[in-house]
Amino acid sequence: MTARDALADAQSRVNEIDVAEAQQRQQQGALLLDVREECERLAGFPTGSLGTPRSGLELSIRDQVNDPQAELLLMCAAGQRSLLAARDLIAMGYRNVSSVVGGYSAWKSMGMPCTTPLQAEAEYLDRYSRHIRLPEVGLQGQARLVGAKVLLVGAGGLGSPVGMYLAAAGVGHIRVVDDDRVERSNLQRQVMHADARIGMHKVTSARIGLQSLNPRVQVESVMQRLDRSNVDGLVRDVDVVVDGADNFATRYVLSDACVRHAKPLVYGAVQRFEGQVSVFDAGRQRGTAPCYRCLFPQAPSPQDAPSCAEAGVLGVLPGLVGLMQATEVIKLILGIGETLTGRLLHIDSLAMRFRESRLLPDPQCSVCRVDGAADVLPSNGAEVASIEADSAVCGPVSGCASKAC
């Protein structure tokens, strides 16, 4: 049966009334059931209605209405869900059920009494409504995003898409660390910045860009280069760390600190037409998840890992990789889905192919091994425990040591 057939069947079985008659019957004692989802009702609902989401109506209705002869008026947003819900209630034995034509949209447009939350709450619900509608997110998940703090290291090619999508998603506090200024050559891929902000510190430009997208987000600008002297203070109080760094030294220092403080590190790298994404969570999963040094025990030579300024990079590629990083951050905050922990995703944008390699922790890694300390460098003999993650894949892409990345 198609949706059209289902609606036609429901219309043949259910009595439909307009909003004026619904209000009159409500005043005479009928029970008005709003079958929209909770997030919809929070943006406004008919005064005196009882919220009974369609998704759980059959399971909850007996607890709310035990009398099969009770007069029930069902309302949704426009009149279709309520029609189907009314048909189902009739099948369950309820005899006096009607569906309100036009739903809450008609009720509101006709000036019927509505209960509306505070304007600030309405703006919040409107902004994040598409998240809130997802059962995996909902109001509680969105609240987790709003309460989260993320460290974004680098406000360049990767930091730009990550920052923008985290701000759009409502991540409440984004700490951006970078000591560089916006250059004209950045604008080919660093979409968080603008031509009018050339010469401005990137962290200042990032704050302007992110808060213009979402004024609710707190953007903390740290105009420093991350190193051993400041990394612990920057990492200690955040929920997730994003690696958008432009050199190996910073990546190693950052990874070591994430192991020390048990913070998940969302890694991304780009060069020419290729990119990589992974999640390193060795600090919370010692012995089962790898750290960055498990993948790269030591930095590749400059010949194997030329900078983006030397080798170039396709402008859209950081956007593709950065969006994947942002997705991993959101999943980590919400605790949903399967993250890239223990997996390295390799992207070939010319062929538009994705290849996944399994990453195992290096049992000899002196940073993340079970009995190791995160401030001790590994020996030169440490090996990468991975499948397919050979130097031809991992070495060149992860270099990108230029400020212009």
Nearest CA among 335, 390, 331 for reference residue 359: 390
CA 27, 30, 31, 36 torsion-angle sign = negative
CA distance 131 to 118: 20
* Cβ atoms 245, 296 nearer than 8 A: no
Helices 159-169 and 202-213 sit at what angle, rounded to 10 degrees?
A: 30
Nearest CA among 129, 101, 130, 166 for reference residue 44: 129
Nearest CA among 398, 258, 287, 285 for reference residue 339: 285
Beta-sheet strand order (sheet of 31-34): 15-17, 97-100, 72-75, 31-34, 50-51
Task: Please pick, among 258, 294, 308, 400, the residue that the annotation labels catalytic.
Answer: 308
Residue 269: which H helix or E strand, with range?
strand 265-271
Annotation says 405 is catalytic? no
Size (the chain), residues: 405
* R_g of the chain, CA atoms, integer Å: 27
* Cβ atoms 214, 187 nearer than 8 A: no
Residue 142 CB neighbours (<10 A): 22
Nearest CA among 223, 219, 215, 230 for reference residue 150: 219
Residue 82 CB neighbours (<10 A): 30
For 5, the token pair is 């057939």
Catalytic residues: 308
